């Protein structure tokens, strides 16, 4: 069956790029589960790894006051949510700060922006970002590279060009919805 997207090359490109945008918005940090979960229950992180509980070590919560000044500075966007994070996530994020601080300043700033964005997301948005990250990691390398290239092209557009693309997408979407409505009238009641 032929996809309706093939009639709109820009729309197809947009459908490829926008999930990638959502993915990259939350990929630096593993999103929390959508439903509350027991701290000992297995969970998946954004890298696709699983904690199967074989280590039988239950991490203890890490109070904000016990973080080093460097850790607190790096994780500041999470301060108000820190106590609600699972202990494993607290330990992992606090441990990652040392690794992140060794990155170039531009990469550090990018990670901090993603932490800030993640802290502002709703649980549903976090769940969707984690799901997108898992989908992305499951893709063949060639497909991932194609999406990364498309995202880079999208990112290289000026704000005006992006706005024009969004307007064109909206117009195409509305035209498609009108066409769908004309071709498939609602069933009689």
Confidence of residue 57 (pLDDT cuts 50, 70, 90): confident
pLDDT exceeds cutoff 60 at 162: yes
pLDDT exceeds cutoff 80 at 28: no
Greater confidence (21 vs 130) lies with 130
pLDDT exceeds cutoff 50 at 120: yes
Which pLDDT does position 59 carry in this prediction? 82
Q: Mean pLDDT across the stretch 19-37?
A: 46
Q: How far apart are CA 71 and CA 45, in angstroms?
A: 21
Which pLDDT does position 40 carry in this prediction? 40
Confidence of residue 18 (pLDDT cuts 50, 70, 90): low
Confidence of residue 56 (pLDDT cuts 50, 70, 90): low
**Cβ pair 28, 9 in contact under 8 A:** no
Which pLDDT does position 96 carry in this prediction? 94
pLDDT exceeds cutoff 70 at 88: yes
List C-alpha distances in Å: 71 to 19, 55, 74.
31, 26, 5
**Cβ pair 32, 86 in contact under 8 A:** yes
Q: Which residues of 93-126 are buried (b: 16+ CB within 10 A; e: fewer)?
A: bbebbeebeeeeeeeeeebbebbebbbebeeebb
CA atoms within 13 A on the CB side of 170: 6
Which pLDDT does position 91 carry in this prediction? 93
């Amino acid at each position: 069956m032929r996809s309706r997207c093939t009639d709109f090359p820009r729309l197809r490109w947009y459908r490829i790029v926008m999930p990638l945008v959502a993915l990259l918005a939350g990929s630096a940090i593993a999103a929390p589960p959508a439903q509350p979960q027991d701290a000992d229950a297995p969970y998946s992180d954004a890298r696709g790894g699983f904690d199967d509980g074989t280590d039988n070590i239950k991490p203890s919560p890490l109070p904000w006051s016990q973080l080093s000044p460097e850790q607190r500075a790096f994780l500041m966007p999470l301060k108000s949510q820190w106590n609600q994070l699972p202990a494993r996530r607290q330990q992992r994020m606090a441990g990652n700060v040392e690794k992140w601080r060794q990155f170039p300043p531009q990469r550090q700033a990018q990670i901090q922006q993603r932490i800030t964005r993640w802290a502002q997301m709703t649980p549903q948005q976090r769940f969707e970002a984690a799901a997108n990250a898992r989908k992305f990691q499951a893709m063949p390398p060639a497909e991932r590279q194609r999406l990364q290239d498309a995202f880079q092209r999208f990112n290289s557009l000026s704000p005006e060009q992006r706005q024009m693309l969004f307007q064109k997408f909206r117009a195409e979407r509305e035209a498609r919805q009108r066409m769908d409505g004309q071709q498939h009238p609602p069933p009689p009641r």
